[in-house]
Amino acid sequence: MRWQWVPLLGGTLLLSGCVITTGTGPTEYESRSFERQGAQQLQLELHMGAGDLRVGSGTSKLMQTYFTYNVAQWKPEIRDSRTGNLASIVISQPEGMSSPQNMKYEWDVRLAQDVPLDLTAHFGAGDAHLDLGSLDLRSVTVHMGVGELQMDLRGSPRQDYNVEVHGGVGEATIYLPTDAGVYADAHGGIGEISVRGLHQVGGHYENDAYDTAKVKVHVNVNGGIGQITLIGD
């Protein structure tokens, strides 16, 4: 699903400063790999204003990225710092430019399965597909603006972790692991909450394995306007 929410994004940028009108050009493809260099933990921040974001596994390196864009000024900005065994990487879409018609902007981020990960993602308008179940998650935080989020946590977690999703306008679908205990809070603003494979306990939801599971996943979803779907089977 693709969303056309250019006026809202432009208005958001206008509030933060001068907006530069730009146009599309030839489609550019760029990739970058990040070596482990002794890293035993990764803190990754993604800041995308508008476009399609994909995150998953599929590399033996610490991280491999593939970028596709047809607005030259939107070449992603990357900061990579290392402190001891900790790697901190921030990828950002440059700010201060409006979204032209027929823009193409895609990030494909692939991560090592065996490096503990703290992931924070901000995306303003578009689609985000986060296939995270095979990763060694420590925490996941997502701030979505306008669009659609699909997050797949199905897998066999190695440790407890927390998931925070702050929704804007659109849809959020989260597939939950069945090999771990799941505790989920879901609160919608204006919209619907659909839950499958979990049972309600007071004001939250749990799966059948929660009481006895050695590994537990806590999910907190706060929606804005739209649909929240939690799938636990």
| pLDDT, tens digit, 9 for 90 and up, residues 179-228 | 899 999 988 766 788 999 999 999 899 999 999 999 999 999 987 778 88
Question: HEC string of 61-76?
Answer: CCEEEEEEECCHHHCC
179 vs 151, more confident: 151
- Please say whether the beta carbons of 74 and 97 come within 8 A: yes
Average pLDDT over residues 12-37: 72
- In one-letter notation, the amino acid at residue 165 is V
pLDDT score for 22? 64
**Rounded-to-integer distance, Cα 118 and Cα 67, Å:** 21
Average pLDDT over residues 132-142: 97
pLDDT score for 98? 65
pLDDT score for 117? 98
pLDDT score for 110? 98
pLDDT score for 186? 85
Average pLDDT over residues 69-77: 92
| pLDDT, tens digit, 9 for 90 and up, residues 2-15 | 333 333 333 333 33
pLDDT score for 10? 39
Residue 24 scores a pLDDT above 60: yes
pLDDT score for 96? 66
pLDDT score for 1? 40
pTM of the predicted protein model: 0.88
Average pLDDT over residues 88-109: 87
- Please say whether the beta carbons of 233 and 197 come within 8 A: yes
CA 156 to mean position of chain CA atoms? 19
Residue 21 scores a pLDDT above 70: no
